[in-house]
C-alpha cells in the first residue's frame, strides 16, 4: 500500500478542549455538540453521514436532524468550516481561520488540505473588480491523487477507501 505523503490536519481534542471551544463562542455545552466537534477535529473533511455514524458510536441515539443542526450551529460560529467541492456532498473541517485550499482527486474524490501560497484572502488578483470589494477567491485544485496516478489503467478505479 502506498503511504500518502500528505499529512492531514487531524487533531484528537480532549473533551476539555472541545468544551472550552464551545464555551469560547458562548454555545451551551451538550453531549451531541461535544461529540460532533470532536469528530470533525479527528476526521477532517467528513460529510454529514460520517459525522452521524461517529456521533452515534459516541453518544448513542441521535437524529440526523440534530447532527445537521449542530453542524450548522458550529459552522455559524466559526468553529467548523463547511466546504463543498462541485459534485461532492458538503464536508466539514475544524481547521478554520486560515485561507487554506483543497486538492480534490477527480477519480476517487479524496480531499487534501494545501496551504495558501499567498497566506491571506483574496489570494488571486481579479482582472476587473467592477467596483466589488473582494474578500475571498474560492480556490479548488482539481486533479489526480498519487494513489490514482499509480493505479494500473486496466483496473477499475479504486474506491475512496482504498485510495486514502
Part of the chain binding Zn ion (CB under 5 A), chosen from 34-42, 71-79, 88-96, 127-135 = 88-96
Q: How far is the CB of 47 from Zn ion (least distance, A)?
A: 13
Containing H/E element for 49?
Answer: helix 48-59
Nearer to Zn ion, 52 or 93 (CB): 93
| Nearest CA-CA partner of 142 in 103, 100, 87, 86 | 103
Give the single-character DSSP code of 157.
P
Other beta carbons within 10 angstroms of residue 31's beta carbon come to: 13
Phi-psi label, residue 125: left if phi above 0, alpha if psi -120 to 50, beta otherwise: beta
Nearer to Zn ion, 34 or 163 (CB): 163
Q: Which of 43, 94, 104, 113 binds Zn ion (CB under 5 A)?
A: 113
Q: How many residues bind Zn ion (CB under 5 A)?
A: 12
Q: Which residues bind Zn ion (CB under 5 A)?
A: 93, 105, 107-108, 110, 113, 116, 118, 123, 145, 148, 163
Amino acid at each position: 500500500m502506498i503511504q500518502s505523503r500528505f499529512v492531514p490536519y487531524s487533531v484528537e481534542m480532549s473533551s476539555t478542549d472541545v468544551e472550552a471551544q464551545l464555551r469560547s463562542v458562548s454555545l451551551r455545552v451538550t453531549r451531541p455538540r461535544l461529540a460532533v466537534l470532536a469528530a470533525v477535529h479527528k476526521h477532517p473533511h467528513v460529510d454529514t453521514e460520517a459525522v452521524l455514524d461517529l456521533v452515534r458510536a459516541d453518544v448513542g441515539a441521535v437524529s440526523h436532524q440534530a447532527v445537521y443542526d449542530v453542524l450548522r450551529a458550529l459552522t455559524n460560529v466559526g468553529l467548523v468550516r463547511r466546504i463543498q467541492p462541485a459534485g461532492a456532498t458538503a464536508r466539514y473541517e475544524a481547521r478554520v481561520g486560515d485561507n487554506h485550499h483543497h486538492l480534490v482527486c477527480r477519480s476517487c474524490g479524496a480531499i487534501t488540505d494545501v496551504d495558501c501560497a499567498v497566506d491571506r484572502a483574496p489570494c488571486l488578483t481579479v482582472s476587473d473588480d467592477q467596483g466589488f470589494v473582494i474578500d475571498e477567491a474560492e480556490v479548488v485544485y482539481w486533479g489526480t491523487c498519487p494513489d490514482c496516478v499509480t493505479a494500473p489503467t486496466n483496473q477499475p478505479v479504486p474506491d475512496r477507501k482504498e485510495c486514502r
